[in-house]
Amino acid sequence: MTATNPAGADPAGADPAGTGRATDSQTGSVLRAGVIGLGWAGQQRIDAYAADPAVELVAISGKEQHLLDQLGDQHDVAGRYPDYTTMLTEEQLDVVSIATPTFLHAPMTVQALEAGVNVLCEKPMAETGEAAATMVEAAHRTGKVLDIAFNHRQRGDITSLREVVESGVLGEIYYAKTGWLRRKGIPGMGTWFTSAASAGGGALMDIGVHMLDMSLHLMGEPKVTAVSASTHAQFGPRGRGGSGFGVSSVVEDMPFEVEDLASAFLRMEDGGTLLLETSWAQWIPYDQVYVTLYGSEGGASVEWGGNPRDPYQRLNVWTEVQGMPAELRPEVGEHGKHAAAVANFLEKVRTGEPGQHVGLEALRRARILDACYASAKQGAEVSIDL
């Protein structure tokens, strides 16, 4: 996700935001970190920062006082702020993670960047491509790092498959299929998760974006030119298909306003295509997650899911050797998950130059999602100019 340095941007370690603080690339000091949002994702960030000896977790922010006390005590964090603006003002932060409801990502990220802080934001980037663009503009303007936490990229099987693709074994990838399908997994019915204004969308925005990101990453970031999509809501409006996740702030009688299933067909500038499906709930025996790549010289598939009592994880590569069909089994490393996403962000902060990491890949994902929802609404293919 490389971008051209904006005109007039200062060199690495400079302070275009005017905060008076030096970056780690200047000082070599331990990075001072904060976290906004104390739900499950925020807690993953807190754990990762606390475990890194080159990071000092100095502040956390959230509305839940019991979590401020619990997590603050657990990790010996002195700075505990119900108001994130106060935290950004009073703490001399180098990095901050934002793990809040989607509609808060853009305003919080822009405010943090303008305060001179590098930002790791939870996915999806924002509720719309327009909001996501304000985040990228702020990163360009301030010369700070903006990264979006697509943690599933850090899986060992995805990393291994990316190496297979880069080796050329598959040849030219011209088609891919991907999906994340849940048997029963609508998060937080009656909360911001199922509000169109707060979340921006349903299953496609929540878990489909992971599959979109992994697929485009594996395919080598082809430019998407058009989308044809459809959305459905068969479970949520009837109060069915819910999970126990994300139910901390239920609003009485809140309507279900988003999709619980979406499918999309994406056309690429190079002629390639991608078929994506995602659901929070549907009549299948168990959860299924997959990315399948079709190349001119071979094919490959990553799959995981299944019965929780007997889950499966598979990475297979099919090709031929000297005219004979061959199945390859690449070695798979450990899944890096959220800790690896944090480590990747911190590496960008320490080694990157202003304007180099400003969230452009994530912005492209956001604009593709916009096009998917527009296509579903119009019942027609929608062109994209990325």
pLDDT tens-place string over residues 292-315: 999 999 999 999 999 989 999 999
Q: Where are the domains of the chain?
A: 24-152+339-355, 156-334+368-383
Name every residue whose Cβ is closer than 8 Å to that of residue 377 and which is 6 or more positions away in sequence.
none
Check residue 208 and report its DSSP letter. I
Cα dihedral 81, 84, 88, 93 sign: positive
Amino acid at 45: R
Confidence check: pLDDT of 24 > 60? no
347-377: per-residue pLDDT in tens? 999 998 878 999 999 999 999 999 999 999 9
Name every residue whose Cβ is closer than 8 Å to that of residue 20 and which is 6 or more positions away in sequence.
none
Q: What is the CATH number of domain 24-152+339-355?
A: 3.40.50.720
Q: 72: closest CA among 81, 82, 62, 80?
A: 80
Q: 10: closest CA among 129, 144, 132?
A: 144
- Alpha-carbon separation of residue 355 from 11, 14, 213, 234 (angstroms): 10, 12, 21, 44
- pLDDT recorded at residue 245: 61
Name every residue whose Cβ is closer than 8 Å to that of residue 27 and which is 6 or more positions away in sequence.
none
Confidence check: pLDDT of 25 > 60? no
- Residue 252, φ and ψ in degrees, nearest 5: -60, 130
**Superfamily designation of domain 156-334+368-383:** Dihydrodipicolinate Reductase; domain 2 (3.30.360.10)
pLDDT category of residue 244 using cuts at 50, 70 and 90: low
Q: Which pTM was predicted?
A: 0.90
**Is the separation of the CB atoms in 81 and 87 below 8 Å?**
yes
Name every residue whose Cβ is closer than 8 Å to that of residue 306 and which is 6 or more positions away in sequence.
286, 287, 288, 312
Mean pLDDT of all residues in 39-49: 96
